[in-house]
Amino acid sequence: MSLSLKVYQAFDRAFITELPADDAAALDRKLDIAAKAFADRDGWLPAYQRMAILRKTSELLHDNRDRFAMMIAREGGKPLADAIVEVTRAIDGLVNAADEIRNFAGKEIPMGLTAASLNRLAFTTKEPIGVVAAISAFNHPLNLIVHQIAPAIAVGCPVIVKPAATTPISCVEIVKLLWEAGLDERWCQTFVTDDNTLAESFSTDTRVAFLSFIGSAKVGWYLKSKLPPGTRCALEHGGAAPVIVDRSVDVAAVVSPIVKGGYYHAGQVCVSVQRIFVHEDILESFTENLGARVAALQVGDPALKQTEVGPLILPRETERVSNWIREAVDAGARQLGGGRLSETTLLPSVLLNPPADAKVSQLEVFGPLTCVYGYRNLDDAIESANSLPYAFQASVFSSDIAVALRAAKRLDAAAVLVNDHTAFRTDWMPFAGRRQSGYGVGGIPWTMQEMADDKMVVLNGVS
């Protein structure tokens, strides 16, 4: 009996399509194909071909921009305006990977620094690490895939990519474009399944040299613990991103980027604004402005151009977020906004001063909610911001450079955004979680480094 995976619209759970799914035999066959492609060193694709394929794929994606954007809006629930931005980023990301090949090289290692190293020439070269197993997440169903497969192709690694079971269409379609652009299927394959046991087998197979995982910390750290000796990995998880708002700011000016960072894709972003620490001198004004801006957000069908906030990915996620909000309110937090529009769509809300031990203060919400806390002393706000076992991106808004620099220096984060929200990202910058938020470094050029090995060559007898 053939397996299949049914795909539904996030917003109204309407059926979209049914895709063929892979079983254990298909997985073994695909891993074998990838391993044999890598083992045939004479068959490795030269750099110019990899560049040409990536550029051609970018052109094809540009021609299909609107189709992909609607696909993202339907299967993932991202508002169409933001889905268009995602496709635009993916188009550029493919070119970014192609361009990086020009600079992807080793270096000379100095010799002759001791008597024993005389008459030698040493240099390093870059080699692909091997078969890449990529497991992706639902919230950016195209661009996250590009972040995993484009670096692998650029470096010369065979890659097998498993999309989220809720959003597989974008992945399948971008891989088809790569094949159309001239990439032999051996070098990029899809692995479509909703079987977690099979996904674990995929991740931990001895033929895999590198695991690229984007998703929950619980799953990512578990898979890392199961990897065979020698298998490398990169894990991209999430957090509960903190924002510090200093009393020197123009409140009306800073609320807009904070709202974008907190409610973009209904808060389903690994660095979404979640915990906002506001100086007491401006707390009332900030809260009033924030509440008004959140209440004005256009919520609804993500396929409509005017929609700013769409659904969560599954009904169970709306139940979870609603329960967390209810728990915080019962414990004394004050709620602004909120409510439910549909089975999967929550109206955006703000919680004022939820308890420090509430789930919304301790865990990643991944929903259309931000939490506001007052502070008097900057160092106290920084201490609260740093109090969780996650550390990804953080923000500080201030017109006082001394405050901004003090916060930037002391916030425990891989990146501190000054006068910008925590969800800002370009696809060529390093993107990495610290502590429980991740392992390794993302961002297309940085991922290429992760997926490569350095080989040193030493020539003796050079005079």
For residue 253, the tally of other CB atoms under 10 A from its CB is 12
Nearest-10 Cα torsion for 395, 397, 398, 403: -20
The CA-atom distances, in angstroms, between 285 and each of 102, 250, 278, 352, 369 are: 51, 10, 10, 13, 19
3-state secondary structure 21-39: CCCHHHHHHHHHHHHHHHH
Which distant-in-sequence residues (6+ apart) come within 8 Å of 84 by Cβ?
65, 66, 69
CA atoms of 38 and 42, how far apart (whole Å):
9
**What are the residues facing 109 on neighbouring strands?**
122
Residue 13: strand, helix, or coil = coil
The active-site residue out of 100, 270, 371, 450 is 270
Which residue's entry shows tokens 């080989």? 455
CA atoms of 452 and 157, how far apart (whole Å):
8
For residue 240, the tally of other CB atoms under 10 A from its CB is 24
CA atoms of 41 and 127, how far apart (whole Å):
11
Beta strands of 219-367 (E only): which ranges? 232-236, 241-245, 273-279, 334-337, 349-352
Question: Is 236 assigned a catalytic role?
Answer: yes
Sign (positive or negative) of CA dihedral 417, 423, 428, 434 = positive
Strand 4-8 and strand 232-236: the pairing is: unpaired
Quote the tokens at residue 410.
């002391």
Span between the terminal Cα atoms of the chain, in Å: 68
Which residue's entry shows tokens 């604004």? 273
Strand 4-8 and strand 15-20: the pairing is: antiparallel
Question: Is 270 assigned a catalytic role?
Answer: yes
The DSSP H or E segment spanning 209 is: strand 208-214
The CA-atom distances, in angstroms, between 434 and each of 269, 341, 390, 395, 439 are: 16, 36, 7, 15, 7
For residue 23, the tally of other CB atoms under 10 A from its CB is 14
The active-site residue out of 75, 100, 236, 450 is 236
Classify residue 279 by its DSSP letter.
Answer: E
CA atoms of 238 and 392, how far apart (whole Å):
7
Any idea which residues carry the catalytic annotation?
236, 270
